[in-house]
Each structure stands twice: as C-alpha cells, then as structure tokens.
C-alpha cells in the first residue's frame, strides 16, 4: 500500500462489494422462496412446458448464483478481517506488499502477482 488515500479507497471498495454481495444473496434467497412456493403448488408437467424454463432449471440456476455470491461474500469478509488485523495488502507467500493496482482489480487478493502466478491462481 502506498498512500492513505489508496487505503481509504480500497476499504470503501471492500465495503461496497460487501453491500452488493449481501444484496445479491438476499435477492436470490427471495427468488428461491418464490420457486419453493411454486414447486409446492400443483404445477402440471413443469418439465415439458413449452412456454419457457422449468422450475427445476430456474432452481439450479438460482442455487448456483447464490453459492457464487456467498463465496464472494466470504472472500470479502476474509479481506476485511485482514484489514482489521493489519495484514491486508500483504502477500501471504512472500510478505511483500500487493500492488494497489492489483487490489483495485481483486480487492480480496491474498498474493502479489508474482506469487499468484507461481501458485497458478
């Protein structure tokens, strides 16, 4: 990390990403609740409905989106914990600072570019 301004910018970015991921999880939970209610009602031959996507297909899609949003939320929470511990922006492998440009693109990065390439991530 190079400047106080960069640190403030990155923390604000983490907070913004956290809020967005939390909102996505809530919206997807609402969609799943609606699908659950639709599954409970008497839907005739959902799998062969020529009018569109089946409830099963929508369910699978929503579950996958929710899992991705929860994974992102966990990564952001881990980054915030590192922030609070004073280790945010420090490479877990080499101990050097992760460039601000990398953190702007991947705010929850745990490795510098060099170590990420070596690790294959």
Domain ranges in the chain? 4-87
| pLDDT tens-digit series, residues 31-85 | 999 888 876 665 554 555 555 567 778 888 999 999 999 999 999 999 999 999 9
Beta carbons of 72 and 20 less than 8 angstroms apart: no
Which of 112, 86, 117, 85 has the alpha carbon at shortest distance from 101? 112
Whole-model pTM: value is 0.75
Residue with token string 């005739």: 44
What pLDDT is stored for residue 7 in this prediction? 85
């Amino acid at each position: 990390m190079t400047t106080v301004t960069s640190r403030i910018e990155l923390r604000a970015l983490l907070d913004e990403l956290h809020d967005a991921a939390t909102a996505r999880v809530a919206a997807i939970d609402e969609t799943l609740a609606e699908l659950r209610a639709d599954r409970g009602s008497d839907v005739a031959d959902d799998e062969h409905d020529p009018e569109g996507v089946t409830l099963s297909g929508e369910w699978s899609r929503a579950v996958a989106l929710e899992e991705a949003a929860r994974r992102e939320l966990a990564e952001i929470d881990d980054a915030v914990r590192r922030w609070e511990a004073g280790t945010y922006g420090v490479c877990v492998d080499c101990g050097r600072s992760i460039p601000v440009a990398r953190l702007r693109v991947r705010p929850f990065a745990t490795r510098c570019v060099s170590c990420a390439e070596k690790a294959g991530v």
